[in-house]
Amino acid sequence: MEVKAVYLDDSKFEVAARTHRAICGQPRDNGGADAGMSPPEFLMASLASCAAYYAAQYLKTRGLPASGLDDRHLAGMLRAVKICRRYRPAELRAPIGEQAREQLIEAYRRMLDARRARGA
């Protein structure tokens, strides 16, 4: 995997992976032009989308709807990489039942713990 960050000006960078490009910058209240997400926002977005992807795969392989999955447990993801200790389960609006929801959250926790143990 190759990801590049190229300085553009002031506090603005172009980040690229494969054929995709995005602007990374700082918000106005931190001296930037608010041209794009800040580096911590990119980090949180990356963790959230990774977690949401695996949660959706978990639901799909069990024949459960993933369309209502709304991953908002960034604090939990950040805890997994030792940035934050608080865990808040994913919000799941799909009508899958409480037992399936609890199984999803437990599988999520196991996946995060296993990845952390492997150093991933």
pLDDT in tens, 39-95: 888 887 887 777 778 777 887 888 877 776 665 544 444 455 444 444 444 555 556
Q: Return the number of other C-beta atoms located less than 10 Å from residue 67's C-beta.
A: 9
Whether 72 and 83 share a structural domain: yes
Residue 8's domain comprises 1-37
Half-sphere exposure of 33 (CA within 13 A, CB side): 9
Name residues whose C-beta falls within 8 Å of residue 9's C-beta, 6 or more positions apart in sequence: none
Same domain, 88 and 46: yes
Counting the structural domains of the chain, the total is 2
**Does one domain contain both 60 and 8?**
no
Mark whether 49 and 87 lie in a shared domain: yes
**Which pLDDT score, from 0 to 100, does residue 38 have?**
92
Do both 56 and 81 map to the same domain? yes
Q: What is the pLDDT of residue 18?
A: 95
One domain for residues 22 and 48: no
Nearest to 52 by CA among 17, 36, 76: 76
